[in-house]
Amino acid sequence: MTAEPSTDRLVEVTLDETGLPAPTPEVEQERRVAIFDLLEGNRFGLPGDTVPPGPYRLRLGIRERRLVFGVLTEAGAPAGEVELSLAPLNQVVKDYFRICESYFDAVKRLPPAQIEAIDAGRRGIHDEGSRLLLERLSGKVATDLATARRLFTLICVLHFKG
């Protein structure tokens, strides 16, 4: 007997990249992997008695310097919208971009031991951003750290300026 999949999950994720420059191949690859991993396994629920049950479709974007989670039911009906200020995330996103640049540069020219050290730092900053996002979503979206990690990657893609 197989268990029914949870309704507190995402079945589709799209990015509203309106007005953003085209991503580099590395950023585009991060985006594809994050969306694939997110859809493979996630926990995403909207609290409240009047909220339609999932599964959900998510449209993630930035509007007026705010991070916007536009949530639809699987059938496409509006389920809710969550907005977060980007200010608390800005520094960790900048730090993450800086270390990603170092990592992508290192892959081209440094020995494996140095690449591993930079990658460990990259994962540490990514974890910091993921935990911060999880805190900011508390009470607005029921999720877990693994889902927040993948969402943080997508937020970074939306911050990418070229």
pLDDT tens per residue, range 105-140:
888 898 988 889 988 999 999 999 999 999 999 999
pTM, rounded to two decimals: 0.86
* Strands 56-63 vs 10-16: parallel, antiparallel or unpaired: parallel
The domain ranges of the chain are 10-159
Region 84-109: what's the mean pLDDT?
89
Q: Is the pLDDT score of 73 beyond 90?
A: yes
Structure-token match 């599964």, residue found = 55
Who's near 25: CB < 8 A, 6+ residues apart?
A: none
Distance CA 15, CA 94 (A): 20
Q: Say what the pLDDT of residue 92 is.
A: 94
The pLDDT score that the predictor gives to residue 1 is: 46
Mean pLDDT of the chain: 89
More confident residue, 51 or 27: 51
